[in-house]
Structures are given as C-alpha cells and as structure tokens.
Amino acid sequence: MERQLVTFKLEEEEFAVDILKVQEIIRMVEITLVPKMPPYMEGVINLRGKVIPVVNLRRRFHQPSTDNSKDTRIVVVTLNNTTVGLLVDSVSEVLRLSEDHIEPPPPIMEGGMDTEYISAVGRMEDRLLILLDLEKVFGKDGTFSM
C-alpha cells in the first residue's frame, strides 16, 4: 500500500502531510494580523471569500522565523471541518511512499525536536521525510493548544 504525500520545507528539514488533508497550495498573499493571537498564528487571509487562519509552522515548532521569499507558500489543509493555512518556506513535491518505507519516529529527533507532532518518518533513497500528525499540531478540536 502507498501513501500520497505533499512535501514541504522549513529551512533544510523536509516535512510531509497526507494529500487527502490538503485543500490547495497558494502563493504568499497579504496576511491580516489579529490582536492577541498566539505567537505561532501569523494572522488570517481571505481565500475566495472565506476567512482562514494561518499558522507559521516555524514558530509552531519553536524554530526561528525568517523573511518570506518567492518560494514561501501557504498549504491550505482541512482537519475536522476546520480549514487552516500552514505557512511554509517552500513546497517540494507530491509523491507516493510505500508503507514499508514509513516507520515510527525515534523517541527524540536529532536537534532536540521531540516527536509530539510527528506521526512517522518516511525513508527515501537519499532523504528522510517527517510526516506530521496535523491533529496534534492543531489540537483535536482545532484550538491550537500549546
């Protein structure tokens, strides 16, 4: 069995989410700041008349923020009937990965990032993909708990 994944980068790390959760990928648009939002919330965008919150995944994972570039993208995902944008450095590709190349994450990832948000690690010929558990990134009820 294979899983189809959308891969994206935060700095040099490559992450992936199940393509079935991805609604679309858009170029950077103007993000409206909202007062008193958690530090990892970038703000909200208007996507064809619908207001969507945008999470800066770098901040969510406690990585340093950087300026947006021409490659910066917003990956729009849907989870439990909630639509959210993920601000990422760049989107790499859509790929298929066989289940026998996917394994549970080690207890502690190199560099100190714990496995709280990681559902699995995908092994490819020359790289590893960190598969995100979006329910844990956002909280089961969409509250974005820390």
pTM of this prediction?
Answer: 0.87
State the pLDDT at residue 146.
37
Mean predicted confidence (pLDDT) in 36-52: 93
Q: pLDDT grade, residue 145 (50/70/90)?
A: very low
State the pLDDT at residue 5.
96
Give the Å distances, CA to CA, from 119 to 15, 37, 50, 106. 11, 27, 29, 10
Per-residue pLDDT reduced to its tens digit, 85-137: 999 999 999 999 999 999 988 766 544 455 678 899 999 888 899 999 888 88
Contact 76, 83 (CB under 8 A): yes
Q: Judge whether residue 138 has pLDDT over 50.
A: yes
Domains in the chain (CATH in brackets) are 2-138 (2.40.50.180)
